[in-house]
Amino acid sequence: MINKKKILVVAVLSAAFLSAIILFSVRKADNGATVARVEKPVRGDILVTIEATGTVLPYNRLEIKPQINGRMERVLVQEGQAVRTGQIMGWMSSTERAALIDAARSQGAASVKYWQGVIKEIPIVAPINGTVIVRDIEPGQAVSTATAILVLSDRLIVKADVDETDIGRVKKGQRVIIELDAYPDVKAEGRVDLIEFESKIVNNVTMYQVNIIPDRVPEVFRSGMTADVSIIEKAREDVLILPFDAVISKGETHYAWVLAPASKKPEKREIRIGMADDKNIEILSGITAADRIAVMSNGVSLETKSTTNPFMPRRPTEKKSGRTP
C-alpha cells in the first residue's frame, strides 16, 4: 500500500520549495531588505468601527401579574410564542371560586358543573403584541398579585456598553453589525436607536449604554445572550485595498514596493491613500489591481516599530482624576 504519511510530507516539502523559489527570485530590494510576502491589491470594503460588548434584552419587558389572588386553571401559551393584543393566554380562578369548585367535587359532577357556571374563570389577556419570553406558571399553581406568571417582550434589541472615550463617535442611525457569542456564525445588522444620557461605572470605567435595534431579529436570539457589536463610524465600499503593513509612510508621503513585471525586483512607487480600518488601506492612485506588492522583511513596511495602524484615530491618553479607586 502507498504510505499516505510519506505522500503528505513530500507534498508539504514540494510546496515549501516552490515558495522559496518564488521569494528568492524577488527577494532583494535596493535597500537590501528581503521580501517577506507578496500581496495583491483587491477590491473590498473599508469599515471604521467602534467595538463594544452588549446583551440581548427586551426593548419593552412586560410582566403579567394576576389582578387577584387565586389558582391557575389553564395556560394557553408557551415560551417563544407570538401573541397579539387582546389574546387570551390563560384562565384562572379566584381564591373563592377555587375553594367552591374543590368542595363541589366531593358532591359529584353535577355540583361541579353548577358552580363552574355560576362563577366564571378569569382570563389572562395579552396587553401588547409581542413574544412570550418567560412562562413561570403551570395549571393548578396558586398565584398572587405579586407573582409574574408570564413575561412578554415586544421585540429583542441589543444594549451595548460604550466607553466614554468612544461615545462621541456614536450617532443615532449608524449601522451596526451584531455577532452572538453563542452563535458565532450568525450575524445580524441593525441601527443605533438611542444613546442613554446617564453613564454608569463598569470596572472603574465610565460607560454609556447604547440601544441597537436589529433590522431583523434572528430566531436564535434569546434574552440575556452576550453580543459583540461593531458600530460603523465610516464606510467605503468596493474600493481598491491593501493590508496596511504593505504601505510605507514617511510624513505625508506614502509608497509601496511594487514588483517589476520583467525583473521581479521590488521598486518603490509613490501612492495616494484614502480611508483605513484596522487591517486595510484604501488605495486612491499609484497602483492597480494588476500590480503585485512586496511586503519587506526589515520590520513592518510602515518603517515604524509601532504595531498599530497609524492611519486609525487614536484614543486620547487617559487622564488621572486624582480620585482614589
pTM exceeds cut of 0.85: no
User: What is the b/e burial string over 289-325, where b = at least 16 CB atoms within 10 angstroms of the residue's CB?
Assistant: eebbbbbbeeebbbeeeeeebebeeeeeeeeeeeeee
User: What is the assigned CATH class of domain 64-153?
Assistant: mainly beta
pLDDT at 245 over 70: yes
Contacts of 252 (CB under 8 A, 6+ apart): none
Delimit the CATH 2.40.30.170 region(s) of the chain.
50-59+155-236
pLDDT confidence bin for 28, thresholds 50/70/90? low
DSSP secondary structure, 181-238, as one string: SS-TT-EEEEEEEEE-SS-EEETTEEEEEEEEEESS--TT--TT-EEEEEEEEEEEEE
3-state class of 142 per DSSP? strand
Q: Which of 10, 58, 105, 35 is nearest to 258 (CA)?
A: 35
Q: Which helix (H) or strand (E) holds 57?
A: strand 42-58
**Backbone dihedral region of 110: left (phi > 0), alpha (psi from -120 to 50 degrees) or beta?**
alpha
Q: Does domain 50-59+155-236 have CATH number 2.60.40.1480?
A: no
The residue with greater pLDDT, 21 or 204, is: 204
User: 2-24: per-residue pLDDT in tens?
Assistant: 444 444 444 444 444 444 444 44
Which cell numbers hold the place of 24? 528568492
105, burial (CB in 10 Å: exposed 0-12, middle 13-18, buried 19+): exposed
User: What is the b/e burial string over 67-93, where b = at least 16 CB atoms within 10 angstroms of the residue's CB?
Assistant: eebbbbbebebeeeeebeeebebbbbb
Give yes or no for a contact between 55 and 148, defined as CB atoms under 8 angstroms apart.
no
Q: Give CA separation, 171 vs 45, 128, 145, 229, in Å.
A: 21, 30, 42, 14
The residue with greater pLDDT, 277 or 157, is: 157
Give yes or no for a contact between 122 and 149, defined as CB atoms under 8 angstroms apart.
no
User: 38-88: per-residue pLDDT in tens?
Assistant: 999 999 999 999 999 999 999 999 999 999 999 999 999 999 999 999 999
Q: How far apart are the first and last CA of the chain?
A: 70
Q: Which helix (H) or strand (E) holds 283?
A: strand 280-285
Mean pLDDT, residues 97-118: 92
- Average pLDDT of the residues of the chain: 84
Delimit the CATH 2.40.50.100 region(s) of the chain.
64-153
Give yes or no for a contact between 114 and 23, defined as CB atoms under 8 angstroms apart.
no
The single-letter DSSP state of residue 307 is: -
